[in-house]
Structure 1
Amino acid sequence: MSAAADRRQTMPTASPNLLEASLSSISSLVFLQLSSRAFTFVLNQALVRLATPQTFGTATVQFELLLSTTLFLSREGVRTALLRQRMGVSPDLVRNISLLPAYVAAPIAVALAILYAVTSAPVVRAQPHFHLSVSMYALAAAIELAAEPLYVRAQNELRVDVRVRAEGAAVFSKAAVTFVGLAFAPSEWALVAFASGQGAYALVTFAVFWNFCGRSTRYLLRKVTLEDRGRKKGKYFDPELLHLSGAMTAQSVVKHFLTEGDKLLISRLSPLADQGGYAIASNYGSLVARILFQPIEESSRIFFSKSLSMSSSSGEIEKQAFKTAVELLSAILLLFTHFLLLLVTFAPPYLALATALVLPPRYLQTSAPSILRVYRFYLPAMAFNGVLEAFFASVCTPADLQNQSRMMAVVTAIGGSRFIGIGDSALVWANTVSMALRALYAWRFVQAYCAARGQPKLIGWNVLVPPTSVLTAFAAAAICTRWSEAAYTGVRLSVTAQKGHIVTGGVCLIFCLLSCYAFERHRFAGTIAILRRR
């Protein structure tokens, strides 16, 4: 491949179709998550019936924590930093940085796997084929990280279709291999079945990305000769991007352990059966987050990073790009406020019925039901924090990252220490409080960022609050659904026995949605017009 072609593929562009591409990526990723989660939800219903709570907890809490820690520490900072690459940076310097996660994959995976195996409780290590399963998870992490340079290239080219194919095929392979292993292998191989599924996920991910651009990608660093003040110097990395990658990696270490703190404590403090209850509650409770919030957060980060990095000749951010980014952020935040209202209004009176219908009987005696009750607040906190931190990561300086890291550490240390030893649901409450405070910090940063650019009124608390008429509709629906719940107290938890209660909820939901359309369609019309103009 020619140098010119390579340059076109790796350099960011200030295309006016950037927003259109970002919105297209949202819809593609939502479709990916919806289809893959629908498939895995059905399969999970079978998995939780095939695996014991102890095995399910070990695989989906402890092993998944080992995997996510390896992946997050190796690649998250580099991924975020490379979205902010400047125009004119040599593509080889960018590609060299994208290779770093692949280089550190094996050492980090091996080190974390050994640390986990040595420090695990005896009851965990006593499970059949435990060490083999841990080794397989470490190998799967290394294989997935080997695809990172290929992922970065596809991301920079806005080739969301490649990622959709890769993740869709990988999720299907993981679920199918795990199911076959649990269904047809002896029960003592249950942990290996989960590890095999993760290995299939990693291999398929690498294979799809390799088919996209692997043949033209070399895993060797290229030295670039640049002229600096009349002297030619050889460089392997762009200094600014490398420094930003290091700062974001250091900050991601703090962020990861704060975000996954509940899993870390539960894996150490809770019985294995309760870990299985936490895992199934987390899987079910976060379905909406994975289907809707994760694609919005990831696509927003791409759009914010690339649009806010476009500079005019004077070095200032283009006013129109800046205004569009903030208005899009406001629209997303308002959407999340409505989601919070829906959860607070409808989740409490219908959670007991939903839990009885979805959870297998043996999981009803674990911590799963109590954890699901907390998720009506945890999910909105996660949503607000995700998109606000996406904006923050797109424009922050290394000094801003250090300040945020200190804030997160202090908040979590104070809040989390009060909940340790109380119970699994209390740990999720602590994580919810931490998420909310992180979102508040990022919100204040966005306000200060707008004020520093002469637009203090561009974003404010008013963008988060629906009109009084809509709030009244939700309040009325909350009263009706709770009255209905009280009327059906003691009635068997089934669809046929509770059909009157279900119909009441459906009518109230339609009433709330119609109220949003009647009183807020003009509010969203401005955002829709902006999107169409772009």
Structure 2
Amino acid sequence: MAAQMKAREALTSAATLASHSAGLQVLFRVLTFVMNGYTLRYVSKETVGIVNVRLMLLYSTVVFLAREAFRKACLNVGVERKWSQIINLLWLTVPLGIFWALLLAWVWLNLVEIPDPAVVPHYEVGVIAFGISAVVELLSEPMWVLAQVHMLVRLKVIAESLAMAVKCILTVVCITLVPHWGLYVFSLAQLLYSSTLLMCYLLYFMKFIGSQEAQKKSFPLSTLTDLLPKLLPYQHVVDLRLAKLTWTFYKQCCLKQILTEGERYLMTFLNILNFGEQGVYDIVNNLGSLVARFLFLPIEESFYIFFASVLERGKETRHQREEEVHLAAIVLKMLLKLVLLIGVTISVFGYSYSELALDIYGGSMLSSGPGPGLLRCYCVYVLLIAVNGVTECFTFAVMSNEEVGRYNFVMLGLSLSFLGLSYCLTLWQGAVGFILANCLNMALRIMHSLRYISCYFRPTEHRPLRGLQLSAPLCLAYLASGIVTVLSQVTLCCGQGLMFRSLHILFGALCLITVLVTIFFSEPKLVQFIRGHFLSQDKAKMFKWD
């Protein structure tokens, strides 16, 4: 009973964390979305391409390569581990980040195409500033992991919200007053973002450590100096098991980064698209990935912690508690159903409303070129992202160390095929080729995860993959909505005037309401799951759906 209650508490915490993280990501993406739309009126497409593709790629690569493997290993430790060893291990992210920042800054300054200083000045300053920003952010990594493991949800929400707000305000003010500063503005804003993030974590832990709330949560640190690395008498400096697991994840993360940011690497190193085309592609990419970033990613991150807490890594289902296997199977099935419906809805309606969305956001510069086609393809890609996020979330949480190591070879094959496909398809179809290559690789990753999940639950009566099945009423609702919105797009959008655009939006709204009503009546268990774990304030009633 105690183990079952612990699993329920883990699910409650994961759902709460997913809800808060989703709200946080909504704020991030809305702010970034508005800021990009505003800056387009003050800076060139080339500057947008340099900042959002080239410099943000440098920043994200340093941060990802330095911390992602450590996060995956250390988030699975539980509260009973020796935190002194874990903190020592986490501090290795800082020297690792410095190494990657120096190496990649040299590459960005010497081995890739440098933009024309007359068009995009101060490029060198931008490279240095974004590299430093990545290292500054890594200084908060031990505190971030402690906060995640002990479910300090408010800390992440407050810190990241404040940091993003400060960054956006500074960018908008400087772009308005001194647009000729160019990359100086974006460099200063990025440095301020990382510094604000670090200060928020420090101030929070200064107040939290030693408090009554910390004692209630059995927080393992008693003073702020416990956050610093230290030598440990009569024991290893780091947890060797976690260090080995981190190294296993690290090899995988390098490959995953290629898959995640592969198109940007190709843009940066092979010059397939010029800086202006890169800017347009990035704007469309950000618009298309809004839902994936602010909804699917928080679900994936939060429920990875849940599955890792409920199920023991590397053990078959017959060697685990039946009630925990049952709970994990139901949650996985509901999550698959939830993300599938969101993804299908985006794909169906995205086809007919991509051109209108781009025209409203960026005018004819975006809607008259390849932008609508890019966004339509991306809507299909969002569906694949949705399913892959949940399936890999579960798979990586229960795989043994040996299985994770073997999967590295699968990732290697996917990485090589992705690069080859991206290059060939981009030469053939332009920027759309990037999205097509991503779709193909994502489909292969989904197939691997589905096979693993099917084998994992085969000895049991649970079949969570049935969550990927759509009912007949839903299929009909989606088909009818697709036909109506396509006809509306052809006849009413987008150069017909405000009244015709309003009618086009009205038809889409009516179709969307029809789909939502159909979901409500045809998927009662899913509705109960959403109410219980994302919307309900009554934690005592959160588990009746199972």
Query: Does TM, normalized by the shorter one, top 0.5?
Result: yes
**Secondary structure of 2:463's aligned partner:** coil
Compare 46-55 and 523-532 and name the one that shifted more.
Answer: 523-532
The CA distance in 2 between the partners of 1:190 and 1:156, in whole Å, is 40
By how many angstroms is 1:42 displaced? 2.3
Aligned pairs for 1:29-44 within 5 A: 29-44=21-36
By how many angstroms is 1:199 displaced? 0.7
Structure 1 104/283 Cα, relative in aligned 2: closer, same or farther at 3 Å? same
Match for 1:308 among 299, 304, 311?
311
By how many angstroms is 1:51 displaced? 1.6
Aligned pairs for 1:116-515 within 5 A: 116-123=108-115, 127-187=120-180, 189-213=181-205, 216-218=224-226, 220-225=228-233, 233-267=234-268, 268-309=271-312, 316-364=319-367, 367-420=370-423, 421-422=427-428, 423-451=430-458, 454-455=459-460, 457-488=461-492, 492=495, 494-515=497-518
Structure 1 350/25 Cα, relative in aligned 2: closer, same or farther at 3 Å? same
By how many angstroms is 1:386 displaced? 1.5
Q: Which amino acid aligns with 1:369?
A: P
Structure 1 160/488 Cα, relative in aligned 2: closer, same or farther at 3 Å? same
Q: What does residue 213 of structure 2 align with?
A: none
Q: Which amino acid aligns with 1:198?
A: Q
The CA distance in 2 between the partners of 1:91 and 1:152, in whole Å, is 11
Structure 1 347/216 Cα, relative in aligned 2: closer, same or farther at 3 Å? same
By how many angstroms is 1:85 displaced? 1.4
Q: Residues 14 and 310 of structure 1 are in contact (CA less than 8 Å); yes or no, is this contact kept in structure 2?
A: no
For residues 420-459 of structure 1, the C-alpha deviation after alignment (integer angstroms, 9 at most, x for no partner) is 12311111110121122112211211222223xx31x412
Q: Which amino acid aligns with 1:465?
A: Q
Q: Residues 13 and 151 of structure 2 are in contact (CA less than 8 Å); yes or no, is this contact kept in structure 1?
A: yes
**Secondary structure of 1:498's aligned partner:** helix
Q: Residues 105 and 145 of structure 1 are in contact (CA less than 8 Å); yes or no, is this contact kept in structure 2?
A: yes
**Secondary structure of 1:269's aligned partner:** coil
Q: Which amino acid aligns with 2:263?
A: D
Give the TM-score normalised by the residue count of structure 1.
Answer: 0.89
The CA distance in 1 between the partners of 2:204 and 2:134, in whole Å, is 20
For residues 294-315 of structure 1, the C-alpha deviation after alignment (integer angstroms, 9 at most, x for no partner) is 2111111111122224999x99
By how many angstroms is 1:181 displaced? 2.4
Q: Residues 50 and 279 of structure 2 are in contact (CA less than 8 Å); yes or no, is this contact kept in structure 1?
A: yes
The CA distance in 1 between the partners of 2:70 and 2:79, in whole Å, is 18
Q: What does residue 532 of structure 1 align with?
A: 543
Q: Residues 129 and 191 of structure 2 are in contact (CA less than 8 Å); yes or no, is this contact kept in structure 1?
A: yes
Q: Which amino acid aligns with 1:294?
A: L
The CA distance in 1 between the partners of 2:8 and 2:519, in whole Å, is 31
**Secondary structure of 1:93's aligned partner:** helix
Q: What does residue 49 of structure 2 align with?
A: 57
Structure 1 76/183 Cα, relative in aligned 2: closer, same or farther at 3 Å? same
Compare 122-131 and 375-384 and name the one that shifted more.
Answer: 122-131
Give the TM-score normalised by the residue count of structure 2.
Answer: 0.87
Compare 177-186 and 154-163 and name the one that shifted more.
Answer: 177-186
Q: Which amino acid aligns with 2:203?
A: N
The CA distance in 2 between the partners of 1:459 and 1:73, in whole Å, is 35
Count of residue correspondences: 509
By how many angstroms is 1:171 displaced? 0.8
Q: Residues 353 and 494 of structure 1 are in contact (CA less than 8 Å); yes or no, is this contact kept in structure 2?
A: no
Overall identity of the aligned pairs, in %: 26
**Secondary structure of 2:115's aligned partner:** helix
The CA distance in 1 between the partners of 2:367 and 2:527, in whole Å, is 42
The CA distance in 2 between the partners of 1:445 and 1:307, in whole Å, is 18
The CA distance in 2 between the partners of 1:297 and 1:390, in whole Å, is 6
Q: Which amino acid aligns with 1:449?
A: Y
Q: Which amino acid aligns with 1:486?
A: V
Q: Residues 356 and 367 of structure 2 are in contact (CA less than 8 Å); yes or no, is this contact kept in structure 1?
A: no
Q: Which amino acid aligns with 2:64?
A: F
Structure 1 462/219 Cα, relative in aligned 2: closer, same or farther at 3 Å? closer
The CA distance in 2 between the partners of 1:197 and 1:365, in whole Å, is 32
Structure 1 75/315 Cα, relative in aligned 2: closer, same or farther at 3 Å? farther
**Secondary structure of 2:235's aligned partner:** strand
Gaps of 5+ in 2: 207-222, 533-540
The CA distance in 1 between the partners of 2:235 and 2:396, in whole Å, is 30
Match for 1:521 among 507, 520, 524?
524
Structure 1 473/207 Cα, relative in aligned 2: closer, same or farther at 3 Å? same
The CA distance in 2 between the partners of 1:51 and 1:365, in whole Å, is 20
By how many angstroms is 1:483 displaced? 2.4
For residues 393-438 of structure 1, the C-alpha deviation after alignment (integer angstroms, 9 at most, x for no partner) is 2122232223322223323433542441231111111012112211
Q: Residues 313 and 397 of structure 2 are in contact (CA less than 8 Å); yes or no, is this contact kept in structure 1?
A: no
**Secondary structure of 1:113's aligned partner:** helix
Aligned-residue Cα RMSD (Å) equals: 2.6
Q: Residues 159 and 197 of structure 2 are in contact (CA less than 8 Å); yes or no, is this contact kept in structure 1?
A: yes
The CA distance in 2 between the partners of 1:526 and 1:218, in whole Å, is 40
For residues 475-512 of structure 1, the C-alpha deviation after alignment (integer angstroms, 9 at most, x for no partner) is 122222222233336x6255423222222222111111
The CA distance in 2 between the partners of 1:161 and 1:523, in whole Å, is 27
The CA distance in 2 between the partners of 1:322 and 1:83, in whole Å, is 20
Compare 138-147 and 23-32 and name the one that shifted more.
Answer: 23-32
Q: Residues 273 and 366 of structure 1 are in contact (CA less than 8 Å); yes or no, is this contact kept in structure 2?
A: no
Structure 1 263/310 Cα, relative in aligned 2: closer, same or farther at 3 Å? closer
Compare 295-304 and 212-221 and name the one that shifted more.
Answer: 212-221
The CA distance in 2 between the partners of 1:368 and 1:54, in whole Å, is 16
By how many angstroms is 1:68 displaced? 0.7
Q: Residues 392 and 449 of structure 2 are in contact (CA less than 8 Å); yes or no, is this contact kept in structure 1?
A: yes
The CA distance in 2 between the partners of 1:220 and 1:39, in whole Å, is 34
**Secondary structure of 2:230's aligned partner:** coil
